[in-house]
Structure 1
Amino acid sequence: MTVYLDLRNLFDLFCIVQGVTTAILLFVRSDRASNRWLAWLIGGLTLQVVDYFLSRSGVYYYHRWLYFSPLFFSWSFGPLLYGYVRSRAGQAVPGLRWYWVPVAVQGLFYTVLMVQSLDTKAWFWLNVHKPYTRYVDHYGTCLMVLYAIYRSRPYASERWVRILLNGLTVFYGIAVVEPLVNQAYLPPRWPRFYLTSQILPVFVYVLALIGLLYDRLQKIEKAGRLLPVSADQRRQVLDAIREQELYKDPELTLASLARHLGETPNAVSRIINGGFNQSFNEFINTYRIGEVKRRLAAGDTERLTILALAFDAGFSSKTTFNRVFKEQTGYTPKAYLKMSQITLRDDADLQESDV
């Protein structure tokens, strides 16, 4: 079998091996649901790189029966991304049953085409797929992923997840424009730009590395929770957060808290995980929500908005505040305020009746 292995194809092959290995490790060795979602996402992206490799290396040319191999499951990327972000934020992933119908249709489409004769494939490519269905496939993927990014942003509390969503937004933004530029604006004899096919292998490689890194960090964090935490260590953290009110600093991070305490970030993370059974974000947000609830009860909304109270308490994002508030109280901020006002009026009526 003749295979062209230039530097680009070798890099594609390297990224494929990295992607497959990482997907298997994350799926088999991890006990976190978010990592299994990520494993499926990396696996799907890797299959698309496999298709690029088979095309660029000449495998398709010398083995034409492989044309239309069912390697494109790109309509699954949106649901998988949404599931990953939600589960990473500690949220249950709602039923995505209907989201998988397009994925099944896409897989069946390529499977049926693959088993057709070469003449049928050639006719379908020239008359149907090249002018029509490949754009349905392409733009269907873009729309589903961009919609998933939009739905996922309220749950993107971690910096890494926000970077991932921003990177995917740029990538699929380019993917939306790329066919239009190639087909509508470039003269017939000019070279075509396929930037997304160049970026995707790099993206898979980076995503796989970060996936492994975070899996390792989660295992270290889990092991840290098993180590004993002294009362002095707990008191040191509580003094900084509760007494000095560091939680009100919107720029507070694990690293900055560690510097304030004269400890390493790993040591502070272990104290919070083991001493309070919470992650850093959960621990800080508990105090921030407590501060907002205290000021709501004090009637501060008569002169300030709820969002202003949230910002005073250390939140820097309305979306994050609303999500965390509902997670901790079971109510939206406005519903909680209304309920609190009703409760206060009822208490006042009872006191008057006692008098």
Structure 2
Amino acid sequence: MVEGLTFGWRTAILVVAVAQIVAIAIGLLRTAQNRVANRLLAVLLFVLAGIVTPWMIGFAGFYDRWRWLTFVPVSITLAVAPLLYGYVHALVTGAEPPRMRWHLAPATAQLLFLAASFCLPLETKDAWSDRISPGYDRIVGAGTILGLLAYGLADRRMLRAYRTALAGQRSDDHRFAGRWLGRAIAATLVLLPVWAGYTVWDGVAPLGYTGLMGLYVAIAAFALYLAVEGWRHAALPFPTLDTLSVADPPPEPTRDWRAQGEAWAATVRAAGWQSDDALTIAGLARLLGTNTGYLSRALNEGLGMNFSTFVNRLRCESVAAALRDGAKGDLLDLALEAGFSSKASFNRAFRDAFGVAPSAYRRQHGAKAE
């Protein structure tokens, strides 16, 4: 034990979180798949760990023991929002956002300010801290909150476009970044009011070191969630937006797209092609002897649904038919045979198609309950 330091429960909580965050960030730097996205996520995790670090060491008494640590340039809060935006952009497009350095310009200015202040002589640094800290905290706090809000909304718009493109191209769209990124963005928007609330509260009635513990636990929990889920999805190959575009076919005003869509649906149903759990619109178009533009138009204009909904509806129909015939197998087994790759996606699609859960449908149609 170093004289003058106290390693209490607050430090212990933050040390455990930071150690795991940093370890996962190092691992992300070594992944080959989604390389750009994973590197941006790793940098974000290092930044979040850095934000927590002054409180982690402060609770232990480091600043009392070594006063020169004031302004140590590790808490770069203005980098959080643009780095998360960069990660989302890189996952759905395969590249970092254009002019990423400009997105990070405020964070760079913050880093340079802290580094310059850190290099001041101790006595000058103490006087500078007393003079500048209140204004600095307000400016940086407001910038961080506005950044989380603005970039969070931009992330949501990008995710919406990606989900739409995925659903128009793949029947296994639930496997990819949509759900994970949706949860990550939701977590950001949950953190936003917490961070804003503590910032306003501390500005009106200073909370002191211990009073801000809740905020830094929330930041550590957010970072740990991003780290664990980001690691789980690090090696999954995500289709990028440029691979999900469908060329529009030449206009055919006399063609009955509804009849064409129904005819193709009957062909797919009879052949059982929907049971391929990785079926894509390009693959189905080849099987039908058409192109993706015509198939997409028949589904969207003729049947009023995207490709994913179309295929999953046929899969649900095959499961429903099996249940009506008295199939006694486990519902998950029936779903997997029909082409679904997870119970969650099957349950959602079945409820959308028939208005009830699969187990309720089985009971209503006379099959033996599970």
TM-score (norm 1): 0.62
Counterpart in the other structure of 1:119: 123
Code of the residue aligned with 1:89 in structure 2: it is: V
2:24 maps to: 22
Which of 216, 239, 248 aligns to 1:197? It is 216
Q: 2:9 aligns with which of 7, 10, 16?
A: 7
Determine the C-alpha separation between the residues in 1 that align with 2:70 and 2:294. Answer: 60
Distance in 2, matches of 1:153 and 1:44, equals 22
Deviations 1:238-268 (A, max 9, x none): x9998249xxxxxxxxxxx9xx95xxxxxx6
Task: Report the residue type matching 1:15 in the other structure.
Answer: A
Describe how 1:141-220 pairs up with structure 2 within 5 A.
141-156=144-159, 157=163, 158-184=178-204, 192=211, 194-217=213-236
Q: TM-score w.r.t. structure 2 length?
A: 0.59
Confirm or deny: 8 A CA contact 1:291 1:313 kept in the other structure: no
Q: After TM superposition, give the deviation of residue 188 of structure 1 in Å.
A: 9.0
What displacement does 1:195 show?
Answer: 2.7
Where does 1:18-167 land on structure 2 (aligned, <5 Å)? 18-32=20-34, 33-92=36-95, 93-129=97-133, 131-156=134-159, 157=163, 158-167=178-187
Alignment-mate amino acid for residue 243 of structure 1: V
Q: Determine if contact 2:21/2:224 at 8 Å carries over to the other structure.
A: yes
Q: Partner residue of 2:257?
A: none
RMSD across aligned C-alpha pairs, in angstroms? Answer: 3.8
Hey, what's the Cα distance between the residues in 2 that align with 1:195 and 1:211?
24
The 8 Å contact of residues 53 and 75 in structure 2, kept in 1 or not, is answered as no
Q: Percent identity?
A: 22
Segments of 5+ residues of structure 1 without an aligned counterpart are 222-238, 246-256, 262-267, 277-286, 301-308, 316-355
Counterpart in 1 of 2:252?
Answer: none
Quote how far apart the aligned CAs of 1:96 are: 1.9
* Alignment partner, residue 336 of structure 2: none
Task: Please list every run of at least 4 consecutive aligned residues from structure 1 whose deviation after the TM superposition is greater than 6 angstroms.
Answer: 239-242, 295-298
CA change 1:217–1:66 in 2 (3 A) is same
Q: 1:187 to 1:205 in 2, by over 3 A?
A: closer
Going from structure 1 to structure 2, the CA distance change for 1:99 and 1:15 (only over 3 Å counts) comes to same
Q: Does 1:243 align with 2:302?
A: no
Higher relative contact order (CA 8 A, sep 6+): 2
Amino acid at match of 1:198: V
Number of positions where the alignment pairs a residue of Structure 1 with one of Structure 2: 255
Q: What one-letter code is carried by the residue in structure 1 that aligns with 2:127?
A: W
Point out where structure 2 has 5 or more consecutive residues left out of the alignment. 164-177, 240-263, 284-290, 311-370
What are the equivalent positions in structure 2 for 1:315-330 lying under 5 Å apart?
A: none
Q: CA 1:134 to 1:242, structure 2 compared with 1: closer, same or farther past 3 Å?
A: farther
